[in-house]
Structure 1
Amino acid sequence: MDNTDVPDLVGRLGREDDSGRKMAAFKLQSAIADPSFADVFVSEGGLPKLRELCLHANGNTLAYGLTSLSKLLELDMGWDIVSGDLIERAVQLVVTQPLVNILRGAMSILVAVVSYPHSHQNVERSEKDGTDSFGFKALKPSIAIYPQFLEMLVSRLSSGDHILGANALQLVNALMRDALVNDTDAEWSRFIKKLQDLGVIKAVYVLMQSTALTDLAHPLLDFQQLTKLMLKKWRDVRIDMEKPEHRRALKALDSASYPERLTKENNASGSKRNHPEKWRRLGFETESPAWEFDQVGFLGMMDVTDFVRKDQDQYQKLLLEQSNMPSEQRCPIARASLSVTAILYEHFEVDKAAEEDRGQYANALESRSGFDKAFRPLLLHWSRLHTAGLNGFLRLWKATGAEVEDFEKVEDLVRILVEQVVGQAPRIKDMQEVEDELQDFDYQKLRELQMELLELTFEDAWGHHLRQVRDELNHEALQFIKEQRIRCLLQGDWFPHILGYATDTGPVTKQTLARNVPSGWRYVRLSHNRRYLHYADFNEKTADAPSLDALNEKIDLSIVSSVDSKVSTSRPSTPNTSSTITGGNHALLNGTKPGSKHTASASASTTLTIHGYLPTSSPPRSRHGHNKSGSQGQQTKESVLLTLHPQSHTLASEWLDGLLMLLNQQPITADTNKLVRLIGGYGLRIRLLNVRFEDVGLGLGENSGKALANGLGENGEMKMPGREGLDEEYYYEIAGM
């Protein structure tokens, strides 16, 4: 619109003709956002006309006027006409007006008023007029006339019109920010509590989990940031026993710890309980508990009192259970509560700067999938999260059989629990599901996660030192398994002969089934010097293993060239898998084969074939094609020396990998490799558990690598030899000599 049209437009705004004034207001709302047009509009005397429009017009004309004024205020212009009667008019419209387009404009004006910066000129004008023209104070006189204002404002959050809901939330945010930043300690907390009592948390929580996030994204993220600011402000309030409200809160914990009947009797008699461990009984470390709130401030006080107030009977029951236990096994409830508060505070990064938070939000909102990362609706249910986390702490304490000296260890488990359940929860996950998971999360899985995180932590800190230790432990584990597998060969085992044992036996019938019945048994055993494989054939399998002298045939392992197998390198999924693994682990732990024979059946195609080179002038071979001399001679053609049919996958794994490792080759079966990884992993974790990361985390040089390799003392220092218990006849053992 050209500047020449402005005087005519201003003139038509003052006409009594409703239709002409309505058309002028409609054009004004479209053009006023242009700063150059706004300058001319103000210079032509348009502000008084606009003010009259906002005060006395109705219907769409009023809606156009309110929208125009809100756009003008966004340009930081038109503040001269913002007075008490105009603010009262906007408050009245929020309370009484049903039309959406009028409500939008009225709320936008109030948002601008509450958020108006404290400029030097504004402060001077307020002092001169004796009025408060900005912040929540500017609304207080009008709210006194319309006390249902806040209630109606919160109800507008659930409006089907998303833009109106966004405007309402922007006004709520402006009121909260002004209260948190400008009000005194005595006022801001009462105002926030009033909003919460009106249901603002529940309403915003529903909006955060809804699908209509595009129009509401910025005010929702602003509310989330204000929630963090509110938590930080509560945390920063120091517990001061000189303040009556702080004394009352602490006293309420003690009063709630006794049954109501006993409390009334003591109050009636005027007696006071002087229990020697009044506060330690509740789980504090000393009898002067105020200092114990230093880390979490009044926020920690609120959390523990909420926990007690929600279920006072459970609180008394917990204290009674603790009193019947030895002192070292009692879970310090108050200390655990403060710990959960600190864990949640750290998890939600409440101390993070608002600018950094908003930058991450902007990046997350670039894509639709970023909403789940940006929005943290569970933050709004802080009190419920704390109660669920504390119950999880108590459950883990009981499940682990912890004692007081183990408090930090249980605390670490709870920190991982919160990260897994709360941190991994999607945006739309119901709060009740989160509470249930915190209560029922599997302890063993939690321990596995703890060990994985521990390894990752040390991996980042120590890098090549950790990799070097892991390689050494894996080598040691491989040597250990090699010895176990070879001992299986030294003990020997039975292998069946099966008629027609081949892959082309066809479908299973009575005839083919008969061919799979063992017609004889072969016993195979490694010699004590581990140079020869002795074997012999028998008609029946005897209860007692044959002696080595009874095995009249042997193979010199020096002529063996390879061992072929149809054993799978991955364990098949069979019902008997668990029993097979159990047998293998039993053999591992005892260094010998299990006493019971293998229960899992190998497939009919499971075979082990030992190949080797026979000498040129070899004596006649037996019917099995084996050289009985054991002399290598000149090697010409590779031949089959021995074929075995293991009855189980465990037996096949033991003998295949045992033969390979005996020939200084690497194992190939899944069972053996799993055992190597298992033993190496346990060895690494034992080393890690002997090292305190915080003690050596700052010095990640050569000494820290040695600390990891050798293990550290209780204080994180290298273990040094002492002379305790030594007399004059002592000696030093020099490593490597």
Structure 2
Amino acid sequence: MDNINIPELVQRLGSEEDSVRKMAVFKLQSAIGDPSFADVFILEDGLPKLLQLTLNATGNTLAYALTSFSRLLELDKGWEFVSEGLIERAVELVVTQPLVNILRSAVSVLVAIVSHPQNRRSQPSTTFGFRALKPAVGVYPQFLEMLVSMLSSAEHLLCANALQLINSLIRDAVTHDTETEWPKFIKKLQDLGVIKAVYFLMQGNALQDLAGPILEFQNLTKLMLRKWREVRVDLDKAEHKRALRSISAASYQDDGSHNSGSRRNKDVERWRRVGFETEFPGSEFDDTGFLGIMDLTDFVMKNEDQFKKLVLEQHNKDAQLRVPIARASLAVTLVLYEHFEIDKGEADESQRYAVLESRSNFEKAFKPLLLHWSRLHTSGLNAFLRLWKATGADIEDFDKVAELVRILAEQVLGQAARTKDISEAEIELAEFDYHRLREMQMELLELTYEDAWGHHLRQVRDELNHEALQFIKEQRIRCLLAGAWFPHSMQYNETGPVTKQNMNRAAPSKWRFVRLSHNRRHLHFADFDEKREEDLTLEELDEKIELSTVSSVVSNVSTSPPTSASSSTATLKGKLQNKSHDSKAAPSTSTKITIHGYVSPTTSNEETVLLQLHPQTHTLASEWLDGLLMLLNQQPITADTNKLVNLIGGYGLKIRLLNVRYDEVGMGLGGSKDEIEMPSREGLDEEYYYDIGGMEVGA
């Protein structure tokens, strides 16, 4: 400011020579951002001359003049010179001007005008917001189309300015237009492709340069969704009634006759057949508002054939087994609404600053998939229908299926990277494995109660693990009671010394059968030349070891999980059978269990080897090693046994959690057990079974 003679600068702005005016306005655009300079410039009557340049200049002179005017408006000065002529000039330039520097500045002027609040300092006759632009847009109807096309510009500053103007127009429309007018304006922008354009910007590499206006557009999207939800459904309004009627009409097969509409109107289940709870569906939109009607209507109109077929399929089922399509649609709307935290409103200035400062925050702050709300709703509703069928649900299970959809949305949409395409998300929602979803549900349920009950839940888990250990101990000992065959000596198919190469071709020449006595005090065994098909009785086993003489059981059995696929994939059902080993399995002489002890319980001489066993399979080794250890009141050490203990304990905990309602979380934290009404077993008998991971348990 000190180096510029403002009166002289103002005089040069009105010069007849274009070069003089151009140099003067070039200097002006850099200096006018200083409020003190701007005040002096206005006092020197510089504004009328600047306005003349914006209305009549061309080329770079025009670009500099528009930039100077926009910066003056940003300082909240010069509003008295904002006229219809200036607005029409800026709109005209947006539509007709090919030069990027002029376009940028013209858009900046319009952003300031649309964003300017109507307050007491404004001229009473001045109109701001989108209403100020409407007369000019009427003259240049291509304005919005050209504005949206700028979002594809390679010039990032022009792109940012255009999106900022679009944001200002949307905010003004949503804030000041009537309930019926602003949705029409938003629909027009959507038809011009604004959603697709911003979606690509949000996923692109230029996000750093465009972060501010893109974040505002995302917040405005939430604002619009919130506004649509706040619109209460009123069947006295023609638009609302028309939308509902289109849903009902689409559910019937139209045979082209004049009686089709009459049949629909006379159907006593007209609304229940499409999935509403009653024949008065208006109140069922209380939670979703008009947003719920929009989502359901959009699904029906874009998938009309699927909808007709689906309604017909459900109509032929028992009422309890039908999937309520309309209710499911509303549930999905609420799932998406809560997932994207629409009610949280816009980020405050500190949050905006944090997002814009760090590129690492972009991945969390920007949600491109939110812009494809309609497609997400359709995919979510299809996922609901798929899960309903997969679970064999009935009407009583509605909330449970809705909860699965909520977890699905969190998994697919919540974990989605910023660059994830909407088509990828749709495929995941359609194909996500139901069993994985159930596992996640159980994990979340466990975490929920972990937070609510704390040490109470840990105590239950410890008790269940102890019970599981006792159960597995009994199973392992029953394997010993049933007895098993072990190779006792080997012969080799090749002559010469035994080597690593020919060990695997060894075949048993003698067999040893070992069995625990019924009183669990003695281990009986005997050797045979060949393995028999039937198991032997204790009377046929002429040798025995008294377990009180056993001092230790050692083995080279691995305590880590087996590497063999056949061993590691054995089912729980198979492992819990008394005889789980395969008698035809290939022999393995490298695995050995050695029982040490004393010849007599009364002697204290040095311990000796009482018996050696060579299990043929990893499963058999685990059963006998841990069975012997647990028989001696020692802890099991193999991975197979410990996995079973954890598995059974975990299932026990999940079964208990599934039998606890969320409103029982208060118990143990001040809640009263007397307040909980326990279910009755009246009319039930004791014959039942349930399936856990392939293991059937009956009573």
Instruction: Give the shorter-chain TM-score range.
Output: over 0.9
Structure 1 stretches lacking a partner, 5+ long: 615-626, 725-737
Residue 77 of structure 2 is matched in structure 1 by 77
Alignment counterpart, residue 418 of structure 2, candidates 418, 421, 427: 427
1:701 maps to amino acid: L
Q: Which amino acid aligns with 1:476?
A: E
Aligned twin of 1:458: 449
Counterpart of 2:389 in structure 1 is: 398
Corresponding residue for residue 164 of structure 1: 158
| Equivalent in the alignment of 2:690 | none
* Amino acid in structure 2 at the alignment position of 1:297: G
Asked if the contact 1:488–1:655 (Cα under 8 Å) also holds between the matched residues in 2, the reply is: yes
Q: Residue in 2 aligned with 1:296?
A: 288
Q: Secondary structure at the match of 1:28?
A: helix
- Partners of 1:513 and 1:415 in 2: how far apart? 54
Code of the aligned partner of 2:596: H
Identify the residue that residue 342 of structure 1 maps to in structure 2: 334
Aligned ranges for residues 33-112 of structure 1 at < 5 Å?
Answer: 33-112=33-112
Give 1:75 shift.
1.2
Deviations 1:333-367 (A, max 9, x none): 111111111111111110003135x6545434443
Q: Deviations over 1:353-405 (max 9, x none)?
A: 3135x654543444333212111111111111111111111111111111111
**Hey, what's the Cα distance between the residues in 2 that align with 1:457 and 1:412?**
14
* Alpha-carbon distance in structure 2 between the residues aligned to 1:395 and 1:201: 29
From 220, 231, 244, the equivalent of 1:226 is 220
Query: Over residues 675-710 of structure 1, what are the superposed CA-to-partner deviations in whole Å (9 max), with x where a residue is unaligned?
Result: 1111111111110011111x1235551658xx7xxx
The CA distance in 2 between the partners of 1:702 and 1:226, in whole Å, is: 44
* Inter-CA distance 271–544: structure 2 relative to 1 (3 Å threshold): closer
Instruction: After TM superposition, give the deviation of residue 600 of structure 1 in Å.
Output: 5.4
Q: Does structure 2 conserve the Cα–Cα contact (< 8 Å) formed by 1:600 and 1:649?
A: no
Q: CA deviation at 1:205?
A: 0.8
Q: Could you tell me which residue of structure 1 aligns to residue 538 of structure 2?
A: 548
Q: Name the structure 2 match of 1:383.
A: 374
**SS state of the match for residue 537, structure 1?**
strand
Change (3 A) 1:608 1:190: same
Alignment partner of 1:696 out of 633, 645, 664: 664
Gap change, CA 1:481 and 1:272, over 3 Å in 2: closer
Q: Deviations over 1:148-190 (max 9, x none)?
A: 1001000011101111111100000000000011111121111
| Residues 1:475 and 2:461 aligned together | no
Structure 1 residue identity aligned to 2:508: P
Identity %: 64
The equivalences for 1:292-371 within 5 A come to 292-355=284-347, 359-360=350-351, 362-371=353-362
Cα distance, 1:44 vs structure 2: 1.8
Change (3 A) 1:506 1:442: same
| Number of residue pairs the alignment of both structures matches | 679
Secondary structure in 2 matching 1:668 = coil
Amino acid in the other structure paired with 2:313: E
Query: Displacement of 1:487 after TM fit?
Result: 0.7
Can you list the C-alpha shifts for 1:397-417, whole angstroms capped at 9, x where unaligned?
111111111111111111111
Cα 1:606/1:304, change in 2 over 3 Å: same
Deviating more after overlay: 214-223 vs 419-428: 419-428
Distance 1:546-1:719 versus aligned 2 partners, 3 A rule: same
For 1:5-24, list aligned pairs within 5 A.
Answer: 5-24=5-24
2:579 partner amino acid:
K
Q: Which of 579, 585, 591 is residue 573 of structure 2 equivalent to?
A: 585
| Structure 1 position 608 matched with structure 2 position 598 | no
Q: CA separation of 1:13/1:505 partners in 2, compared to 1, >3 Å: closer, same or farther?
A: farther
Segment drifting more, 40-49 vs 314-323: 40-49
> Which one-letter code corresponds to 2:386 in the other structure?
R
Partner of 1:732: none
Amino acid at match of 1:560: V
Q: What is the match of residue 513 of structure 2?
A: 523
Match for 1:491: what amino acid? Answer: A
Over 3 Å counting, the alpha-carbon distance change for 1:193 and 1:408 in structure 2 is: same
Task: Tell me, yes or no, if structure 1 residue 507 matches structure 2 residue 529.
Answer: no
One-letter identity of the residue aligned with 1:609: T
Matches within 5 A, 1:108-187: 108-122=108-122, 125-126=123-124, 129=125, 131-132=126-127, 134-187=128-181
1:442 aligns with 2:433: yes
Q: Distance in 2 between matches of 1:136 and 1:233?
A: 19
Q: Which amino acid aligns with 1:369?
A: S
Cα deviation for residue 262 of structure 1 reads: 4.4
Report the CA distance shift for 1:361/1:466 in structure 2 as closer, same or farther (over 3 A).
farther
Counterpart CA distance in 2 for 1:388 and 1:495 is 58
Q: What letter corresponds to residue 276 of structure 1 in structure 2? A: V
Shift of 1:301: 0.4
Structure 2 CA distance, aligned partners of 1:698 and 1:167? 54
Does the alignment pair 1:207 with 2:176? no
Q: Which secondary structure does the structure 1 equivalent of 2:416 belong to? A: coil
Q: 1:318 to 1:513 in 2, by over 3 A?
A: closer
Aligned-partner SS, 1:260: coil
Q: TM-score, normalised by structure 2?
A: 0.93
1:691–1:716: 8 Å Cα contact kept in structure 2? no
1:597 to 582, 586, 601: 582
- Separation in 2, partners of 1:420, 1:329: 28
Are the counterparts in 2 of residues 180 and 188 from structure 1 also a CA contact under 8 Å? yes
CA distance in 1, matches of 2:422, 2:680: 53
3-state SS of 2:344 partner? coil
Contact 2:195 2:371 in 1 (8 A): yes
The residue aligned with 1:669 is: 638
Q: How does 1:403-422 map to 2 (within 5 A)?
A: 403-422=394-413
1:506 Cα deviation after fit: 3.3
2:502 corresponds to 1:533: no
Separation (CA, whole Å) in 1 of partners of 2:624 and 2:269 = 66
Structure 1 residue identity aligned to 2:253 = P
* Other-structure match for 1:727: none
Structure 2 residue corresponding to 1:273, chosen from 244, 265, 273:
265
**Could you say what secondary structure the match of 1:354 adopts?**
coil
Q: Would the alpha carbon gap of residues 585 and 272 (structure 1) be closer, same or farther in structure 2, given more than 3 Å must change?
A: closer
Instruction: String of CA shifts for 1:290-342, please: whole Å, max 9, x gaps.
Output: 00000001000011111110021111111111111111111111111111111
What SS does the corresponding residue of 1:214 show, helix, strand or coil? helix
| Contact kept? 2:212, 2:356, Cα under 8 Å | no
Q: Is the contact between residue 223 and residue 345 of structure 2 (CA under 8 Å) also seen in structure 1?
A: no
Deviation at 1:278, TM superposition (A): 1.1
Shift of 1:599: 5.9
SS in 1 for 2:207: coil
Q: Alignment partner of 1:273: what SS?
A: helix
Residues of 2 paired with 1:414 and 1:598: CA distance? 47
Of residues 632, 650, 671 in structure 1, which corresponds to 2:601?
632
Is the contact between residue 90 and residue 107 of structure 1 (CA under 8 Å) also seen in structure 2?
Answer: yes
Q: Which amino acid aligns with 1:15?
A: S
Once the two structures are TM-superposed, the CA of residue 259 in structure 1 deviates from its matched residue by: 2.2
CA displacement, residues 263-301 of structure 1 (integer Å, 9 cap, x when unaligned): 65445xx77631111111111101111000000010000
| Deviation of 1:69 (Å) | 1.2
